[in-house]
Amino acid sequence: MELQARLVQVLPVQSGVSSKTGNPWKRQSFIVETDGQYPRKICIGLFGEDKVDVSTFAPGTLLNVSFDIESREFNGRWYTDIRAWRVEVAQSPVNAPVAPVSAAPAAGAADPQPFSAESEPSTDDLPF
């Protein structure tokens, strides 16, 4: 699954040693907020040292997060975990290519006079 959201907060790194294998482990959690009419905050975890270090991203950064959702039962209660496996800075829609606008009039259309800023005197001295 994939999600695009803004980074709100990076939580402290958790670490420990596996009781089964004795290997060390690290987990980094972070909070993102979705856009839309009803924004949602979501806590997402990165597990393993080889994953992206989200502490390098500044709060407010728009991220693309690829993740898996997993639920497990423990003592009759269910717990859901969201684990990211890729985190990237999202491409801004401002940088998206824009289709060029054709300046040629359509066939059979009347040829209107082109607008010129010099054609009408301006009493407004604002530069925009």
Residue with tokens 């060390």: 24
Residue 73 lies in a domain: yes
Residue 59 lies in a domain: yes
Residue 75's CATH number: 2.40.50.140
Q: What is the mean pLDDT of residues 65-72?
A: 95
Residue 64 lies in a domain: yes
**CA 39, 28, 72: angle at the middle one, nearest 5?**
75
Going by C-alpha positions, the residue among 30, 70, 33 that lies closest to residue 51 is 30
Q: What is the pLDDT of residues 75-117, one digit of tens each?
A: 999 999 999 999 999 886 544 444 444 444 445 545 545 444 4
Question: β-strands 77-89, 62-74: how paired?
Answer: antiparallel
Number of domains into which the chain is organized: 1
Q: What is the pLDDT of residues 17-60, one digit of tens each?
A: 888 888 888 889 999 999 989 999 999 999 876 776 777 889 99
Sign of CA dihedral 118, 119, 123, 125: negative
Domain that holds residue 79: 2-92
Exposed, middle or buried: residue 61 (CB in 10 Å: 0-12, 13-18, 19+)? Answer: middle
